[in-house]
Amino acid sequence: MSLHSEILGLPKGTERLLADLVHSRTGIYFDASKIDLLMDKLSPLVVRRGFNTFLDYYYLLKYDETAPAEWGNVMNAISVGETYFWREFDQIRALTQSIVPAWLAAHPGRTLRIWSAACASGEEPLTIALALHEADWFDRASIEIRGSDGSSVAIEKAIAGVYRERSFRSLSLERRARYFLQDGPKTWRILPELQSKVRFSVANLMNESEIAPLADADIIFCRNVFIYFSESSISRTVRLFARHMPAEGYLFVGTAESLLRLTSEFELKDIDNAFIYEKGPRVQ
């Protein structure tokens, strides 16, 4: 039994029902081995709403007029905020060295739009901004970077731009000194001119109306998200990306997140030793 629900006096019995609802609304799937983890995260929310059972909270999320606001709390509770700068950098190297130059050559005068679709506290879109900055692309082209996440708390952190040591585990000390200002004994703040390259907003990947304005990007990063999704949620999300992206575009997913069995709309390409999915006229 979940430790939190035990200490908070919440009886067992409707965990699967609630987990399935969370899955359908957020895409995040908690199997039997992880269901206690979900209950640990949701138990405080149940109590804060004045309920004594998960079933009451399930009905609140499903039917109550205040459910939309409560889903924000759920997203904040279950979001996986674990990320860091320069993560899986081979893909971002391929972006700056091959994809961006080729795209700009094919679309002169147009703005290149890049979207980090589950950016947590912002490390990924800021890494993209740093890499593009180092390659001088901001001086040579119009590039727009957007970052979104389902968790409003994570996006607040991204907007604040203050990071702790764990966010720098793959970033060299030299780069940290160049792009960040020490803000506290163990915290650093991103330089404002770099942070201004990224626009952050809250958006749930399962909600098409929230995603549509962002998904028209030429390049979408959706890395280390699908590992928490069920196959049906992944397929739905990828179809949604394909529907809203321009005719030609690129989708970046994490190394462990193969889409080969789940999509026929994107084709896997090896670009500069990085695996990237391409949407294009040749891909049916």
Partner 1 sequence: MISKFVGVFTTDRDMVIQVWDATLTRLTGIHSDDASEQPLLKVIPDLEARGLTRYFRHVLEDGVVEVLAPAFHRYLIPCPPLTPSPRFDKMRQHVIIAPLHQDSQIEGLIVTIEDVTQRLESEYDFAGKLDQQPSGMPNLMGALDDRNWRVRRDAIREMSQLAAPDAIAALLLSVRDNHRNFGLLNSALNVLRLTEIDTHSTLIDFLKGPDHDLRIQAALSLGEQWDARAIPALLEATRDENVNVVYHSIEALGKLRAVEAVDRLIELAESKDFFLAFPAIEALGAIGHSGVSFRIIPFLQDEMLREPAARALSRIGDEFAVEALIALLNDRNAATELIARSLMDLYERYEAKYQEGSYIVGLYRNSIKPTGVQNLIDALATAEPDNMRPLVWLLGRMDSPAATRALTWRLGSAELRSEILDALVRHGSTVTELLVEQLKADDPETRGAAVTALGRIRDNRAIPELTRLLERDPELTIPIIAALTFIRDPAAMDPLFSLLGTSDAAVRRAAVSALNALGVPEMVKRVVPLLEDSNPGIREAAVCIAGYFGYPECIETVFSLCRDPDANVRRAAIEQIAYLEDKRAATVLAEALSGDVPAVRAAAAASMSHLEASSVTTRLIAALKDEDSWVRYFTVRSLAKHRSPESAPELYRLAQYDRFQQVRIVAFEALCRIDGGLAASIAIMFRASGDPDLQQAATSVPLPGNGAS
Q: Which of 249, 272, 223 is nearest to 86 (CA)?
A: 223
Query: Least Å distance between CB 149 and partner 1?
Result: 19
Query: For partner 1, how many residues bind (rule: CB under 8 A)?
Result: 21
Are the CB atoms for 279 and 265 separated by under 8 Å?
yes
Eight-state DSSP code of residue 10: P
Is 101 an interacting residue with respect to partner 1 (CB under 8 A)? Answer: no
- Which of 15-18's residues contact partners 24+ apart within 8 Å by CB, and which partners? 15/39, 15/54, 17/54, 17/55, 17/58, 18/42, 18/54, 18/57, 18/58, 18/61
Q: Which is nearer to partner 1, 23 or 197 (CB)?
A: 23
Query: Least Å distance between CB 28 and partner 1?
Result: 15
Are the CB atoms for 56 and 46 separated by under 8 Å?
yes
**Crossing angle, helix 67-78 and helix 54-63, to 10 degrees?**
120
Is 106 an interacting residue with respect to partner 1 (CB under 8 A)? Answer: no
Q: Is the dihedral of CA 33, 34, 39, 44 positive or negative?
A: positive
Is 4 an interacting residue with respect to partner 1 (CB under 8 A)? Answer: yes
Q: Which is nearer to partner 1, 60 or 143 (CB)?
A: 60
Integer-rounded Cα radius of gyration of the chain: 20
> Quick one: which of 213, 243, 264, 280 contacts partner 1 (CB under 8 A)?
264
* DSSP H or E run through 8: none
Q: Which is nearer to partner 1, 250 or 266 (CB)?
A: 266
Question: How far are the Cα atoms of 211, 230, 242, 266, 279 from residue 220, in angstroms, in the given order?
Answer: 12, 20, 10, 12, 11
Strand blocks (E) in 117-179: 143-149, 162-164
Is 165 an interacting residue with respect to partner 1 (CB under 8 A)? Answer: yes
Eight-state DSSP code of residue 65: T
> Quick one: which of 32, 108, 173, 261 contacts partner 1 (CB under 8 A)?
261
Site string (35-74) toward partner 1, x via CB under 8 A? --------xxx-xx-x-----x--x--xxx----------
Q: Which is nearer to partner 1, 45 or 94 (CB)?
A: 45
Query: Least Å distance between CB 203 and partner 1?
Result: 25
Query: Least Å distance between CB 202 and partner 1?
Result: 21
Q: Which of 108, 40, 105, 104 is nearest to 78 (CA)?
A: 40
Is 108 an interacting residue with respect to partner 1 (CB under 8 A)? Answer: no
> Quick one: which of 16, 166, 178, 243 contacts partner 1 (CB under 8 A)?
166
> Quick one: which of 1, 9, 136, 260 contacts partner 1 (CB under 8 A)?
9
Binding interface with partner 1 (CB under 8 A): 3-4, 6-9, 43-45, 47-48, 50, 56, 59, 62-64, 165-166, 261, 264
